[in-house]
A and B are shown apart, each in its own frame.
Chain A
Amino acid sequence: MSTTVSRPDTDGGPPGGTGRRRPTLKSTLVWTAVAVVGAVAWTVLALSRGESVSALWMLFAALCSYAIAYRFYARFIAYRALRVDDRRATPAERLHNGIDFDVTDRRVLFGHHFAAIAGAGPLVGPVLAAQMGYLPGTIWIVVGVIFAGAVQDMVVLFFSMRRNGKSLGQMVREEIGIVGGVAALIAVFAIMILILAVLALIVVNALAESPWGVFSIALTIPIALFMGVYLRVLRPGRVLEATAIGVVLLLLAIVGGGWIDNTGLADALTLSKEWLVLALVVYGFVASVLPVWLLLTPRDYLSTFMKIGVIALLAVSLLIARPVLQADAITDFAREGTGPVFAGSLFPFVFITIACGALSGFHALISSGTTPKMVAKESQVRLIGYGGMLMESFVAISALIAAVVIDQGLYYAMNAPAGVTGGTPETAAAYVSGLGFPTSAADLAAASAAVQEPSLISRTGGAPTLAVGISEIFSNAFGGNLQAFWYHFAIMFEALFILTAVDAGTRVGRFMLQDTIGNVWKKFGDLSWRPGNIIASAIVVGLWGGMLYIGVTDPLGGVNQLFPLFGIANQLLAAIALTLCTVLLVKHGKLKYAWITAVPLAWDLVVTMTASWQKVFSDNPAIGYFAQRNRYATALDNGEVLAPAQDVGQMQQVVTNSTINGVLQAFFALLVVVVFVNALVVIARAVRARGPLPTTEEPAVPSRIVEPSGLFATAEEKQAIAEHERLVGAGAGARGQGTFTEEGPAR
C-alpha cells in the first residue's frame, strides 16, 4: 500500500521535466486542419453582409477555436504557469473521507462540475445580446471564454485545490487581507441575492399568462416530492430508476398542459406576474426549510438530466436543421446604443449582457469549495475547470444561434418592453416595423398561435425567445406538427433548472447568513436550530423576493432595468476572482506568468467600471439610473406623467426603483474597488520582496494513485496505470473505496 509511483510525464511538459516531444506529423496535420476550418468559419461570419449564411459557421468557428485553445493555451497555463504536479497528492486523496473529500473519476467530476456551473445564464444573456447582431456576441463568447472565463475557472480551481478546497471568500481574506475579505464576502452575498431575483424574474416572465406553462411547472413539485419519497422510503438509493420515472412524468406533464389549455382549468391557471411572485417566494421559503431529500435532491436530478438532454438534442438538431441566420452581423443598435431590449452601446454592454458563457464570476464559487475537494490528479484541472467552461460556452453559442435564426421582427416584438410595444399584435407590429424590421400583426398572431400561447408580445427575459428558437429548430429537424410541444418543453426545461438554482441558492444564502451572524450570535450559527433556519430563510427569500417584485412591477420593464445590474454584478465577482488569481501568481513568485489572469482582469475592470460609471453617472436617462430618476422626479414635481408610466403611482415607482438600482450599482462597484486596491498593496509588497511570499498553500505530499489527466487515457497513461496496479495490487487506488466506519459512511 505504501509504494509511491510517480506518473511518467505523459503530457510531455513539466512537472519536473523538460521532456517536450516533437509533434508527430499526424498531430501537425490534424491541428492545421482544425485551424484552417476555424479560420474559414470566422471569415465567412465576419465578411458576409446580406448573403444567406448558415448558422453552422457559428458552430464551427466556436468548436475549432475551443479545440485549439484547450490543446495549446490551457495546456500552457496548466504545465508552464501553474506547474500542475501529478506526483503531489490532491486533497481528495490526502483528506479522503468519502463525503466531501472524495477521489472522483475525472469524467464523473466533469459531469458534476458542468451541472453545477451551467444554468439559465448562458441561455438568456446571448438571446438578449442578439439585439447587437450575431457577430459581437459570437466573438465575445468565444474569445471571452478562451482568455477569461475558462482561465478563471481553471486557475481558481487549482489554487483552491492547493488549499484543501477553501472558498473564494476565505482565500481573499487570507491571501489579500481582512478588508478585501470582508468586501468580498458582502459582494458574494449581495450578488447572489441579485442573481436569484433576476433568475426568478425570467421564470415569472415566461410563465405569466401562460396556463400551459404554469400547469407543467407546478406539476414538477409533486413529481419531485414523489421521487423524494421513492428514494427515501420505497426504494432507497435507486436514483436512476426514480429519475427515469420522473422524466416520463415530466413529459406527461408537458403533454397534459396542452390538454388543459382548452378546459376551464386554463382560466384558473392564467396567473398574473404578481401572483407568480408570491408563489415563487412561498416556494423558495418552503424549499429552504424542508429537508433536502424531499424536494431539492430529486429536483436536482431531474433538472440535470433535462439540461444535458436538451443541450445534446439542440446540438444534434442544429446539425440536421442547418438553420440560416436572420439577424444582421452587426445591427444599428450596436453603434447607437438605442436598442429596445437593453439600452447602451456595444461597448461595454455586450460584454456584461453575456456574462455566463464568456466570463462568469459565479463559477469561482463552485471552482472553490465543492469541486476542488474531489479532483483526483492536479493535471485534471485542465479538463474540469477549463474544459467545463468551454462546454458552457458552447451552450451559450447554441442559445445565440436560436435567437438569431428566428424572424427578427418577432424577436423585437417579444423582447421590447410592453411600455413601447403596447402589448397587442397591431401596436407591436407598427412599433417593430418602425425599428426597421418589417412584420405584420397577422404574422405575430400566427407565431403565438403556432406555439399555442395567448400572446408573444413583450415576453421579455430571453426564455420565451429561446423557446421559440428551439421549437423552430426542433420542428425543422424532427418534423411533425409539434412546435407547441417543443416550445413548452423548452420553457419547462429552463424553468426547471432556474427553480433548482433558486432553491439551491436560497439554501446556500441561508447557510452563509447563518454562518456570518453566527460569529456574533453563536446560537444563530447552529444549522440545526430551527428558529435560526426559519429566520435566515425568510431574510434571504425576502431579499430576493423584494428585488423580484421591484423587477416585475417596473413600468420600464424589469429585464431591461435589472439585467444590466445582474450582468455587471456577475462580472464584478469575476474581477474579485481574477484579482485573487493574479495576487496568488505573484505571491508564488510567478510574476512572469501573472499576465495570464491580469490581462482578463484588466479587460473585465475596464468593462465593468465603464458600465458601472455609465449606469450611475450617465446623463442619458435611458442608461443612467440617477438621470432616469431625476427625469421622472422632475416630471412628477411638475405634475406630468411620462410614458411608459401611466399614472402618478407608476411615476413614483420609477423614481424609487431607479434610486435602488443606482445605489446597488454604485455599491457593487465600490466593493470591487476595495478588493482591488487591497490586492494592489499585496502585489506591490510581493514584487518588492523579489521572491515567493508565504501563502496558505498546503505542503506537498506524495501521491499514491495513478489516473489519466485528459478525457481519454493515452497509451502511456494506460501503461502507467497497469504498471501501478501490478506493483501495489488490486484495490490500492482510493477511488470508489470510500472511507467507511462500521456504522456506514464516515462522518
Chain B
Amino acid sequence: MTADVAGPVRSAAVRAWRGVRWYLREWSGEARWDDYLAHCAAHGHQPVSRREFERRRADERERNPVSRCC
C-alpha cells in the first residue's frame, strides 16, 4: 500500500474509532463526568471527587428504575 492510499485509510480508521469510542462513552454515561468537569470549569465551581459524583448518579438511579421489556 502506498503512502497516499494509507493516509486516507488511516484517517478514516481513526475517525471510525473515535466515533465508536464517543458513542460508547456517551451511551454508558462515562462522558457525564467530563461534562461535569467542563461545567465546573466554565462556572468556576470546585468539582467534587469522581467517587462522590458517581455515587450521586447511582442514588438517582435507585429512585428512577428503568423498565426492561420482554
User: In the complex, which residues of chain A have a beta carbon less than 8 angstroms from the beta carbon of B17?
Assistant: none
Q: Which of A363, A737, A740 has the most CB of B within 10 A?
A: A740
- Residue A13 lies at the interface, judged by CB distance under 8 Å to chain B: no
Which residues of A have CB within 8 Å of B40? 740
Known A-B contacts A116-B69, A236-B55; A738 and B61 likewise in contact (beta carbons under 8 Å): no
Are A199 and B36 in contact, CB atoms less than 8 angstroms apart?
no
Closest to A238 in B: B30
Q: How far is the CA of A62 from the CA of B11 in the complex (A)?
A: 35
Are A119 and B70 also in contact (CB < 8 A) when A292-B61, A745-B53 are?
A: yes
A residues less than 8 Å from B13 (CB atoms) = none
| Chain B interface helix/strand/loop/mixed | helix
What distance in Å separates the Cβ of B59 from its nearest Cβ neighbour in chain A? 9
- Tell me which residues across on chain B come within 8 A of A240, comparing CB atoms: 24-25, 28, 30
Bound-state CA distance A511–B65 (Å) is: 8
B70 close to A570 (CB less than 8 A): yes
Interface residues of A in 265-300 (CB under 8 A from B): 291-293, 297, 300
CA distance in complex: A740, B46 (Å): 12
Decide: A300 near B32, CB < 8 A? Known: A237-B53, A527-B63: no
| Cβ contact within 8 Å between A369 and B67 | yes
The residues of A that contact B56 with a CB separation of less than 8 Å are 744-745
- A-side contacts of B36, CB under 8 Å: 738, 740, 744-745
**Given A239-B29, A742-B45: A501 and B68 within 8 A (CB)?**
yes
Binary contact track B1-33/A, C-beta < 8 Å → 1, others 0: 000000000000000000000011111111111
Contact residues of A between 499 and 550, Cβ < 8 Å to B = 500-501, 504-505, 507-508, 511, 527
Known: A236-B51, A236-B54, A740-B40. A500 touches B24 (CB 8 A): no
Taking CB atoms, residues of chain A closer than 8 Å to B65 are 292, 504, 507-508, 511
CA distance A744 to B60 in the complex (A): 12
Q: At the interface, yes or no: A694 with Cβ under 8 Å from chain B?
A: no
CA distance A517 to B29 in the complex (A): 34
Write the nearest CB–CB distance from A366 to chain B, whole angstroms: 6
Per the bound structure, the CA–CA distance linking A371 and B11 in Å amounts to 35
* Contacting pair B53 A504 (CB below 8 A): no
User: Which of B32, B53, B61 is within 8 Å of A293, CB to CB?
Assistant: B61
Residue of A nearest to B40 (CB): A740
Once bound together, how far apart are the Cα atoms of A360 and B66, in whole Å? Answer: 18
Q: Which residues of B contact A301 (CB under 8 A)?
A: 28
Nearest chain-B residue to A365 (Cβ)? B67
Residues in B whose Cβ lies below 8 Å from that of A239: 28-30
A676 within 8 A of partner (CB): no
A198 to B69, CA, bound (A): 13
Decide: A370 and B30 in contact? CB cutoff 8 A: no
Q: Which chain B residue has the least Cβ–Cβ distance from A237?
A: B54
A504 and B66 contact, CB distance less than 8 A: yes
Contact A497 B70 (CB under 8 A): no
- Is B28 touching A105 in the complex (CB atoms < 8 A)? no
CB of A715 within 8 A of chain B? no
Measured between alpha carbons, how far is A107 from B32 in the docked complex, in Å? 16
Does B67 contact A745, Cβ atoms closer than 8 Å? no
Q: How far in angstroms is the closest Cβ of chain B from A591?
A: 32
- Are A737 and B23 in touch, CB under 8 angstroms? no
Cα distance A238–B58 when bound, in Å?
13
* Residue in A closest to B61 when the chains form the complex, CB atoms: A292
Q: Is the CB of A120 within 8 A of B45?
A: no
Q: Residues of B with Cβ closer than 8 Å to A?
A: 23-33, 35-36, 38-40, 42, 45-46, 48, 50-58, 60-70
Additional A-B contact list (20), CB under 8 Å, known A570-B70, A745-B60: A108-B23, A112-B27, A195-B70, A198-B70, A232-B58, A236-B55, A238-B30, A293-B61, A300-B68, A356-B70, A362-B69, A366-B67, A504-B65, A504-B66, A508-B67, A527-B63, A737-B39, A738-B35, A740-B39, A745-B53
The contact sample of 23 A-B pairs, CB cut-off 8 A, is A99-B64, A108-B23, A111-B23, A116-B68, A119-B68, A195-B70, A236-B53, A237-B33, A237-B53, A237-B54, A240-B24, A240-B30, A291-B58, A291-B62, A292-B65, A366-B67, A370-B66, A501-B69, A504-B65, A505-B67, A527-B63, A738-B35, A745-B36
Counting from the closest, the 4 A-B pairs by CB-CB distance are A121-B70, A239-B28, A236-B54, A504-B68
